[in-house]
Structure 1
Amino acid sequence: MIKAVIFDMDGLMFDTENMSKKLWKKLGQKHGYNFEDSFFDQVIGLDLSATIKVFKNTFGSDFPYEEYKKEKDEMMIKEIKDSGIPVKMGLKEAIKFLKENNTLIAVASSSKRSTINFYLESADLKDKFDFIIGGDEVKCSKPSPEIFLKCYKKLNLKKEQILILEDSINGIKAANKAEIKVVLIPDLVKVPCEIEKLTFAKLTDLTEVPKLIKKF
Structure 2
Amino acid sequence: MTLHYIFDPLCGWCYAAAPLVKAARSLPGLRVAFHGGGMMMDGDRRPITPQWREYVIPHDRRIAAVSGQPFGEAYFDGLLLDRGAVMDSAPPTTAILAAEAIAGRGLDMLDRLQRAHYVQGRRIAEPAVLHAIATDMGLSPVEFDHAYADLEGGPTRNHVAASRELLARVGGRGFPTLVLETDDRKLQVLDLSTWLGKPDAFREHLAGRLPATAPAQVEAEAPFCGVDGCTPEA
TM-score, L = length of structure 1: 0.28
TM-score, L = length of structure 2: 0.26
